[in-house]
Amino acid sequence: MAMVNRKTASKKAHVKKKMVKSSDKKGSNKGVPTFLKAGNSLYGPEVIGHHWINGKFLRGANHVASVNPADLSDLVGRFPNAGGKDIEAAVAAAEKGFKNWKAVPAPVRGTVIGRLAKIIEREKESLARIITREIGKTLKEARGEVQEAIDTAEFFQSEGRRLYGQTVPSELPNKELFTYRRPLGVCLMITASNFPFAVPSWKMIPALLAGNSVIWKPSEDAPATAMSFALCFREAGFPDGVVNLLFGDRAVGEKLLTYVDKNRIQKVSFTGSTAVGRKIGEVCGRAIQVPSLELGGKNPLIIHKDANLEKAVPAAIVSCYGTAGQRCTSTGNIIIHKEVYEEFKSRFIAAAKNIRIGNPLLVPETFYGPLIAERYLKNFIAHLEWGKKDGGKLLMGTGRITKFTPYGNFLGKNPEAGYFVTPTLWENVTPKNRLFQEEVFGPTVNLVKASSFDQALEYANAHAYGLSSAIFTEDPHIMLKFKEGIQAGMSSINNSTTGAEAHLPFGGVKASGNGTRESGVWVLDSYTRWHAVNVDLASQLQLAQMDVDYGSAKSPTDFSEWVKK
């Protein structure tokens, strides 16, 4: 496989090239084009991006740069922006690929996914370094993200032998009823930048296991990661056209959605903002399709009066500031019982002030790295101003780290080389405030005081979202009331609002999603349709309901009339 292996020496990431070269520059099946050229020696070579359509790597046109958000001088690579011909070619390839792939027995499809798991596992460190270089999360988090894809592939490999239907008893004699899972067709996957490897695996792997073909439009902020994943699929041996990768901006996604109206795309799975999710829902609604929508969150973390603060404080730090707060499951509001409010606040501030920020590839002890893109930086800086006007009291946070606004625990020489921001904390926030209601993609959180558990639960539900949630308490009765009363798709007790496992359903309610789920066996409902089949073996026509005389037996123990039938 064409992949990059990186080894660290003296805090510098050097590159060991393991690329397959070919004179076939158009990217035919004869070989793989050269994907690397000399780049920043500190981080590795520049990636020469290609679409992957119908088993061929195509350079495309209108190339756009991907840069390292921790060091803007590092050009990760240049990637094409798909045009109309590219999009049409990908859809046509996926249509053809679906016809072939759905005929492959499900256990065999599972075997191919099993090979994918082994390839990802072999390349785990290499892939993690690509993720860290491109979006700035720590290596520990990047390794965990790759492991999540491995777990997903291993889980669904076995589901190839468990793609069960049911045998159902008929009300008529000599008649059999069955149900089958059938694939949907061409599935469009549109994914976000904050989990550029794990989330696509949640979508593509179960869709492929079920017999669908895939067109993947990744975030424009993480194209190198997407191309690396495509190389894994290629080596695993998926047939041409079954997995197709198109790079591009939001306009490319909008063009792809027009194929839903044409009934050439049968399923859309999207991870991103609620605003975009609503637009996708409208498009799919016209086509009588159900999209999979994994959207935003303003996730509550309740600290009850009996909470174990030794555990709750570090969990809250991870929930709020892990991945620089760039998770859909990041904590947005910490709702604290008034009896422990001041103690929790004091401990939390002390812990937050020790957070180390830096370039994760150069400084391994970094807790979080940069914001992923400049637009997230601008949005984050803006919230510092409107948050004050909204009535919030800023306890911590100065915005972007610069030589004029330094941060004591920044690990590095030049914070202005990347999109680094300080951990931010607000108080005097209530459900009436915009700060309480609106998702801010970055390391910021609000402290909210509650007089009782009932009020805390009311506050936890007092916003439009319903993705993740958590509570810290030692009282089993409070745990039960929380589980029964919280309006969220996922909940943790004595743990953080973040985190997921490959065999547990992931998704939200209200403005956080439309009820569909990622992961586990539940996701198969999103990528299959139920097919009911009846087989009548009687010698004469039988009509359900009309030809059934439930009272024909002469006595409760005499069913001779049924036997005659």
Q: Which of 148, 328, 439, 518 is catalytic?
A: 328
Q: Tell me if residue 46 falls in helix, strand or coil.
A: strand
Can you say whether the dihedral through the CA atoms of 218, 224, 227, 233 is positive or negative?
negative
The C-alpha atoms of residue 302 and residue 296 are separated, in whole angstroms, by: 19
Q: How many CB atoms lie within 10 A of CB 543?
A: 9
Whether residue 519 contacts residue 504, with contact meaning beta carbons closer than 8 Å, is answered with yes
Closest residue by Cα to residue 79 from 199, 213, 223: 223
For 483-499, b where at least 16 C-beta lie within 10 A, e where not — what string? eeebbbbbbbbebbbbb
Please pick, among 46, 141, 220, 294, the residue that the annotation labels catalytic: 294
Handedness of CA 148, 526, 209, 20 (dihedral sign): negative
Our answer to whether residue 320 is catalytic in this structure is no
d(CA 271, CA 280): 11
The answer to whether 410 and 401 are in contact (CB under 8 A) is yes
- Compute and round to an integer the Cα radius of gyration of the chain: 26
Look up 328 and say whether it is catalytic.
yes
C-alpha 172/C-alpha 542 separation (Å) is 8
Contact residues for 226 (Cβ-Cβ < 8 A; gap 6+): 196, 200, 216, 218, 245, 247
Give the residue among 507, 505, 530 at the shortest CA–CA distance from 520. Answer: 505
SS3 437: helix
Quickly list DSSP for 483-543.
HHH---S--EESS-S----TTS-B--SGGGBSS--BSTGGGHHHHEEEEEEEEE--SS---
Task: Enumerate the active-site residues.
Answer: 294, 328
